[in-house]
C-alpha cells in the first residue's frame, strides 16, 4: 500500500468488498477450532474510541454465538475486588472448540486503573510481574492467545469523542471515566509503553494495529489473525435438505392472539 492509499480513509463499500472473503476464512477458522478442539482467546486493547467494538462486532457477527463469546466485564464488585486479580477473568476463558473475544481484559490494571489511580502502586507492579506468568500458563496449556493494541492519535480520538457527544445514538459510549480520562493522553501513552515492555513475550506477543482509519484497521487486524493461525482447512460436510412431504404451508394461528399488523412504511 502506498502512502497516499494509507492516508485515504477507506470507504464502506470498498471495506465490505475486502471483508467479504475474510468472512469465509473466519468461518473456516471457527470450524477448525470446533473440530480440532482448539481454544482461541483474543484480547482487544486500546485507548477510548480506538474501535475495539467495531472489529469485535465484525468478527463475532460472522460466527456462531454459541461458539464465539464476547466478554466485556463491568467494574468489579466488592467480592471480586477481594479476589486474586486474575480470578474473575479465568471463568470466561474458552473451553475446547470455543472462541472468546475480550473487549478489554486484565490489562485494565496496566491502563485505566494505573492512570486514574484505581489501584495501588504495589498492585500495579504485581500485575506487570504476574501477567507474563499468567499468560504463559495459558499458552503452555494449549490456549491460542492473541493480544492486539489498537493505536489512535489524539486528534483522531478527540474527533471521535466530539462525534459521540453530538450523536444521541452514540452518547452511551461515553462513560464518566472516558470523559475524565480525556486529558490524560500522554499518561496513557506512558502506561502503554511500560505495559508493552513488561508483557510482550515470545509466547504471548503484542500486535500493534493502526486504527486511525477504523475500517482499514479492522482488515489489518483480521488478516493478521487469520495468517497467524496454522492451516485451518478442514473438510466441510455439505448439507442436503430432505424433500418436504407436502406443499409449503403459510403459518397460521388459532385462538385470540394474532400477529401484529405490518409496520406502515408509507
Instruction: Please tell me the predicted confidence (pLDDT) of residue 236.
Output: 80
Give the model's confidence band at 140: pLDDT under 50 very low, under 70 low, under 90 confident, else very high: very high
Residues 144 and 43: their CA atoms lie apart, in Å, by: 11
Residue 168, C-beta contacts closer than 8 angstroms, at least 6 positions apart: none
Altogether, the residues listed in the chain come to a count of: 266
Instruction: Please tell me the predicted confidence (pLDDT) of residue 7.
Output: 59
Mean of pLDDT values over 205-214: 98
Whole-Å CA distances, 211 to 152, 160, 254: 6, 12, 54
Q: Does the pLDDT of residue 251 top 60, yes or no?
A: yes
Residue 83, C-beta contacts closer than 8 angstroms, at least 6 positions apart: none
Instruction: Please tell me the predicted confidence (pLDDT) of residue 4.
Output: 39
Residues 162 and 140: their CA atoms lie apart, in Å, by: 44
* Residue 9 φ then ψ, to 5°: -65, 135
Mean of pLDDT values over 148-158: 95
Averaged pLDDT score across all residues of the chain: 93
* Residue 7 φ then ψ, to 5°: -80, -15
Tens of pLDDT, residues 113-127: 999 999 999 999 999
Distance linking the first and last C-alpha atoms of the chain: 46
Domains of the chain, residue spans: 11-228
Whole-Å CA distances, 103 to 56, 108, 148, 210: 8, 10, 11, 17
Q: Does the pLDDT of residue 223 top 60, yes or no?
A: yes
Short-list 225, 226, 210, CA closest to 1: 210
Residues 101 and 42: their CA atoms lie apart, in Å, by: 5
Give the model's confidence band at 252: pLDDT under 50 very low, under 70 low, under 90 confident, else very high: confident
Q: Does the pLDDT of residue 60 top 60, yes or no?
A: yes
Tens of pLDDT, residues 104-115: 999 999 999 999
| Residue of higher predicted confidence among 246 and 123 | 123
Give the model's confidence band at 5: pLDDT under 50 very low, under 70 low, under 90 confident, else very high: very low
Yes or no: say if 40 and 100 are a contact pair by the CB < 8 Å rule.
Answer: yes
Mean of pLDDT values over 217-232: 94
Q: Does domain 11-228 have CATH number 2.40.37.10?
A: no
Instruction: Please tell me the predicted confidence (pLDDT) of residue 107.
Output: 98
Burial class (CB in 10 A: 0-12, 13-18, 19+), 166: exposed
Tens of pLDDT, residues 24-50: 999 999 999 999 999 999 999 999 999
Amino acid at each position: 500500500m502506498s502512502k497516499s492509499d494509507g492516508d485515504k480513509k477507506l470507504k464502506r463499500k470498498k471495506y465490505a468488498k475486502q471483508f467479504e472473503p475474510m468472512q469465509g476464512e473466519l468461518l473456516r477458522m471457527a470450524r477448525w477450532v470446533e473440530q480440532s478442539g482448539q481454544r482461541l482467546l483474543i484480547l482487544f486493547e486500546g485507548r477510548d474510541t480506538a474501535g475495539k467494538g467495531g472489529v469485535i462486532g465484525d468478527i463475532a457477527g460472522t460466527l456462531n454465538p454459541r461458539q464465539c463469546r464476547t466478554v466485556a466485564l463491568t467494574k468489579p464488585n466488592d467480592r471480586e475486588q477481594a479476589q486474586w486479580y486474575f480470578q474473575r477473568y479465568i471463568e470466561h476463558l474458552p473451553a475446547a472448540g470455543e472462541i472468546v473475544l475480550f473487549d478489554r481484559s486484565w490489562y485494565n490494571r496496566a491502563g485505566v486503573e494505573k492512570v486514574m489511580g484505581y489501584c495501588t502502586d504495589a498492585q500495579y507492579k504485581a500485575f506487570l510481574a504476574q501477567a507474563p506468568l499468567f499468560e504463559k500458563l495459558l499458552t503452555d496449556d494449549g490456549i491460542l492467545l492473541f493480544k492486539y493494541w489498537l493505536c489512535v492519535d489524539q486528534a483522531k480520538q478527540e474527533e471521535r469523542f466530539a462525534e459521540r457527544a453530538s450523536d444521541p445514538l452514540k452518547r452511551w459510549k461515553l462513560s464518566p471515566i472516558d470523559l475524565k480520562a480525556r486529558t490524560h493522553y500522554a499518561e496513557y501513552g506512558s502506561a502503554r509503553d511500560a505495559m508493552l515492555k513488561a508483557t510482550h513475550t515470545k509466547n504471548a506477543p503484542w500486535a500493534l494495529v493502526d486504527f486511525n482509519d477504523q475500517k482499514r484497521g479492522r482488515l489489518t487486524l483480521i488478516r493478521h489473525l487469520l495468517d497467524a493461525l496454522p492451516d485451518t482447512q478442514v473438510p466441510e460436510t455439505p448439507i442436503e435438505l430432505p424433500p418436504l412431504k407436502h406443499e409449503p404451508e403459510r403459518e397460521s394461528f388459532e385462538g385470540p392472539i394474532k400477529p401484529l399488523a405490518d409496520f406502515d412504511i408509507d
